[in-house]
Amino acid sequence: MQNKKRSCIIWGATGQSKVVYDVLVAEGTSVIHLFDNNPNIKSPFTNIPISYGLDGLLSFIDAIWQEKLKPDQIDCIVAIGGGNGEVRETTTKLMQSHGFKPRSVIHKTAGISPFADIGASVQLLAGSIIGAFASIGDYSIINSGANVDHDCLVGKNCHLAPRATLAGEVVVENNVFIGTNSTVLPRLRIRSGAVIGAGAVVTKDVPEGAVVVGNPARPVVE
């Protein structure tokens, strides 16, 4: 069980951070600092400062030591969406290596079967459904209204965009992005690094690294 009274820092200062911030504020968690790799991005929250890159993180650590705080007293979340799953993993591990404690973000309206297996540092957002005996890998995002049906296996670093649907017994390997309102039919396999376009209906297995769109979904030909 996560201690919601702990302070938290967020890496990422664009759209996904706003969604994560909304969940944290609603549960009573205090967000005290943001980080981003892009120095041109400003904090979207007027009362929360932002720092940039590893140098910014190290400066923040120096500052909290001055206040008699230790990194292991502060939780961390990487709020970077889209097909950036590997970045979520490496950035989370970077923050963890400096003592911060990774945590998950789970919206109060997420429907999670007691028989589901939920990994570390996941984000299960408003109205998402994780069915019986489904599994969600580390660093994955199940976005608002997305549905992972019974016995689905979702690997690490994946992102199901809003209202994406996996029918029963689908296997999604690592680093997969599944777009908004897309549907994957039962017992299919989406291999590592694949991208499913918004609104696609997937009727057959998707090869590694493929980009598929349409109904039925077909590979994009460059």
| Phi, psi (degrees; rounded to nearest 5) at 84 | -110, 35
Please list, in sequence order, all residues whose beta carbon lies within 8 angstroms of the beta carbon of residue 185, skipping any fewer than 6 positions away: 167, 170, 201, 202, 203
Q: Compute how many other C-beta atoms are within 10 angstroms of the C-beta atom of residue 193.
A: 20
* Beta carbons of 155 and 175 less than 8 angstroms apart: yes
Burial of 95 (0-12, 13-18, 19+ CB in 10 A): buried
Q: DSSP code of 72? A: G
- By annotation, the residues acting in catalysis are 150
